[in-house]
Amino acid sequence: MTARTLILVEHDRREVKRPSLHAITTARALGGDYALLLLGQGLDEMASSLVSYGAAAVLVADDEALAEPLADRYAVVIAQAAQKLGATTLIGHSSTFCKDILPRAAALLDAPMLTDVVAIEEKDGATTYQRPVSAGTMLATVQLAGEKRVLIIRASAFAAPATDAASSPIERLEVDGSSLPGGTRFVSREERVSDRPDLTEARVVIGGGRPLRDKESFDRLVGGLADLLGGAIGATRAAVDTGLAPNDCQIGQTGKVIAPELYIALGISGAIQHLAGIKDSRVIVAINKDPDAPIFQMATYGLVGDVHQVVPQLIKALQQS
Amino acid sequence: MTEPIAKILVPFKSVPDPYAEATPGGSASTAKAVINPFDEIAIEEALRIRERGEATEIVGLTIGPAAVDEQVRAALAMGVDRAVRVDDARALDPYAVARILRAAVEKEAPQVVLMGKQAVDDDSNQAGQMLAGLLGWPQATFVSKIELLENGARACCTRETDGGLEVIEVNLPAIVTTDLRLNEPRYVSLPGLMKARKKPIEVLTCEQLGVQVEPLTTTLSIARPPKRAAGARVESVEELVRKLKEEAKVI
Ligand SMILES: Cc1cc2nc3c(=O)[nH]c(=O)nc-3n(C[C@H](O)[C@H](O)[C@H](O)COP(=O)(O)OP(=O)(O)OC[C@H]3O[C@@H](n4cnc5c(N)ncnc54)[C@H](O)[C@@H]3O)c2cc1C
Ligand SMILES: Nc1ncnc2c1ncn2[C@@H]1O[C@H](COP(=O)(O)O)[C@@H](O)[C@H]1O
């Protein structure tokens, strides 16, 4: 079996992460056959959920040695799979999982790599890629040398893939656990259970900044509004640093990039590093007591006011309507 | 207390001040250069490890032209013991950086390479993982806590991932990349900077390191993305709710 493109599919041990499937849209646009790759342990159900995306195969590396996503092992298995397929393109999506593992795989494959690709253009036989740089204040157009490439795409820049009637074969990859690197050991993971939608997949996101002051206010105002609108909660670096919200809530250049229908920024100044993560939201609402706060330059609707007064009013108004 | 683990190598990059854009009229092209914030965090962490008596030497290393010597001095002023600049003025991609760093690691033989998770100018988030792949060393990326175990045989690292915090242990030698919440870098004093002016900077070429690399990525152009149009002010909560319902139709 051969395929031009290999797509790394991410999951959380229960289900496939939907944004990682947007790489299928990228692969289709690039042309040629593509295979999907799942790594982990106990993957049968997730593999079955992937057979209707028109892939030449759903490859499954299912082994005890891969139970946890350790970069040194995963990179070896991914690079071997790419070589076996003769794949010249390897694609993942912008997540800490792919960013941890794919650059390592790129080095093993001796391939150039781009992260956060938002557009690909093929013209006169040459391919150019666009990606934001300098906290999204600039957009770079880049070219790659050679045949091989590793791409990490921004899921929000590529549509969710349509499913296909045909069924892709599921193929197991032989994994020899004893031959994989053994220098890394998984110790623990903090499992956070939340009834709220995933930040990067939510239709509505409520973001809180430093002036939320304490965890109680953050949960009551940001959390309260989120629950009312069925949204996810996000935060600025300042809010995370001061312990108002967990680290995985950080939105921005060095946190998560979101593209919801509605983003409501509560007490957020609008530093470029934060804006880098919210620019693609369809509607942005900002509530800030400083009429000159930079966030207002980006907001669809701006309301000047104190979050501690305005947000309870907003919650009440929404409950009544 | 553990025995010192000998040597930490800290690769760092000179970047335009990330706070410059935030000031009106400021832009990356006119901003003064600084040490990449994530690399400053890496230097700080190395200093703290040495101050705990767990490391004997910290070597700072940057790849760049003579113009970045100012940031090399800043690293010396923070307290790195020795600084190396690999003289290369080309626009390098992370893979080229990683291949040069591999040669430097082979020369310096550190037990830990502590570096930033990403350079805030190219925002690639690649070089550390690539270096780990080239060397075949374990890696711990996006780290917000490091503890050395068993006389520096292993390191226990807390990682900031999309799903929350994760803890892994890596055998040394290893590559560790830093996240924002690992520490807050110390302030560099003026006397410290003055003293650093007198410390030597070792300048090496790629040739002297025995490495030949050509970048595989070429930036054709960099432009400002289309600006998002500024919206409207609303005067009250009622007006906001009405607009969200009737105009934007999002709730
Ligand atoms: C390398 C690097 C990476 C970074 N990455 C990120 C990132 O990924 N994400 C991120 O968010 N930041 C990031 N930052 C930090 C960023 O530069 C800002 O410092 C941060 O976003 C500011 O957070 P804030 O808006 O909550 O706080 P502040 O800047 O303190 O702003 C608070 C705002 O709230 C307003 N306010 C105060 N009180 C009230 C009130 N009672 N009611 C209403 N409004 C009020 C103020 O007018 C102000 O505008 C990064 C910085 C660096 C250097
Ligand atoms: N020119 C350079 N010299 C030294 N280290 C570098 C250089 N470029 C990148 N690095 C290191 O690689 C890390 C990741 O960079 P990047 O992959 O470009 O985002 C940075 O935080 C630095 O530690």
Pairing state of beta strands A126-133 and A138-144?
A: antiparallel
For residue A72, the chain B residues in CB contact (below 8 A) are 132, 136, 138-139
Report whether pLDDT(A92) > 60: yes
Q: Residue A131 CA: which ligand is closest?
A: 2
- Element of type H or E holding A206: strand A204-208
Contact between A183 and B138 (Cβ < 8 Å): yes
Provide the pLDDT confidence category of residue A252 given band limits of 50, 70 and 90. Answer: very high
Q: Is A112 helix (H, G, I), strand (E, B) or coil?
A: coil
Mean pLDDT taken over chain A:
96
Mean pLDDT taken over chain B:
93
First to last CA, chain B: 58
Provide the pLDDT confidence category of residue A125 given band limits of 50, 70 and 90. Answer: confident
Q: Is B73 helix (H, G, I), strand (E, B) or coil?
A: helix
Pick from A141, A190, A271: CB nearest B220: A141
Tokens standing for residue B134 = 């080239």
Amino acid identity, position B70:
E
Q: Looking at residue B2, what is its pLDDT?
A: 54
Q: Is A213 in the pocket of ligand 1 (CB under 6 A)?
A: no
Are B216 and A310 within 8 A, CB to CB? no
Q: Where are the beta strands (DSSP E) in B70-214?
A: 82-87, 112-116, 139-149, 154-161, 164-171, 174-178, 201-204
Q: Looking at residue B19, what is its pLDDT?
A: 86
> Where do we find the tokens 């010597």?
B69
Q: Looking at residue A165, what is its pLDDT?
A: 84
Q: Does A8 touch chain B (CB under 8 A)?
A: no
- The answer to whether ipTM exceeds 0.90 is yes
Q: Does B163 touch chain A (CB under 8 A)?
A: yes
Amino acid identity, position A262:
L
| Integer Cα distance of A176 and A4 in angstroms | 25
Ligand 2 nearest atom to the CA of residue B119, by list position:
19
Q: What is the DSSP letter of A221?
A: I
Q: Looking at residue B231, what is its pLDDT?
A: 87
Q: Looking at residue A164, what is its pLDDT?
A: 86
Provide the pLDDT confidence category of residue B24 given band limits of 50, 70 and 90. Answer: very low
Q: Does A284 touch chain B (CB under 8 A)?
A: yes
By percentage, how much of chain B surpasses pLDDT 70? 95
The average pLDDT across B189-217 equals 93
Provide the pLDDT confidence category of residue B26 given band limits of 50, 70 and 90. Answer: very low
For residue A241, the chain B residues in CB contact (below 8 A) are 180-181
Domain boundaries, chain B: 5-224
| Interface probe with B: pick from A99, A101, A295, most Cβ of B within 10 Å | A99
Q: Among residues 80-109 of chain A, which lie with CB inside 8 Å of chain B? A: 95-97, 99-108
Which of B164-168's residues contact partners 24+ apart within 8 Å by CB, and which partners? B164/A189, B164/A190, B164/A191, B164/A192, B164/A246, B164/A247, B164/A248, B165/A189, B165/A190, B165/A247, B166/A186, B166/A188, B166/A189, B166/A190, B167/A187, B167/A188, B167/A189, B168/A70, B168/A184, B168/A185, B168/A186, B168/A187, B168/B140
Residue-wise pLDDT for A104-115, tens only, equals 999 999 999 999
Domains, chain A, in order of start with CATH, read 5-179 (3.40.50.620), 204-320 (3.40.50.1220)
Residue whose CA lies nearest to ligand 1 atom number 11: A236
What is the B115 CA–ligand 1 centroid distance (Å)?
A: 25
Provide the pLDDT confidence category of residue B29 given band limits of 50, 70 and 90. Answer: low
| Integer Cα distance of B33 and A51 in angstroms | 50
Q: Give chain B's largest Cα–Cα span.
A: 69
Tokens standing for residue A206 = 């409520």
Report whether pLDDT(B21) > 80: no
Q: What is the DSSP letter of A146?
A: S
According to CATH, the superfamily of the domain at B5-224 is: HUPs (3.40.50.620)
Q: Among residues 174-193 of chain B, which lie with CB inside 8 Å of chain A? A: 174, 179-181
Ligand 1 nearest atom to the CA of residue A268, by list position:
25
What is the A6 CA–ligand 1 centroid distance (Å)?
A: 39
Report whether pLDDT(B84) > 90: yes
* Ligand 2 pocket mutation, candidates B15, B34, B35, B36, criterion most atoms within 8 A of CB: B36
Contacts of B187 (CB under 8 A, 6+ apart): none
List helix spans (H) across A34-171.
44-48, 71-85, 96-109
The average pLDDT across B132-137 equals 98
Q: Is A217 in the pocket of ligand 1 (CB under 6 A)?
A: no
- Element of type H or E holding A172: strand A170-172
Residue-wise pLDDT for B149-182, tens only, equals 988 899 999 999 999 999 999 999 999 999 999 9
For residue B27, the chain A residues in CB contact (below 8 A) are 137
Tokens standing for residue A182 = 């053994």
Q: What is the DSSP letter of A218?
A: I
The alpha-carbon gap from A165 to the nearest alpha carbon of chain B, in Å, equals 33
Are B250 and A262 within 8 A, CB to CB? yes
Ligand 2 nearest atom to the CA of residue B178, by list position:
21
Amino acid identity, position B80:
V
What is the A295 CA–ligand 1 centroid distance (Å)?
A: 10
Residue whose CA lies nearest to ligand 2 atom number 9: B13
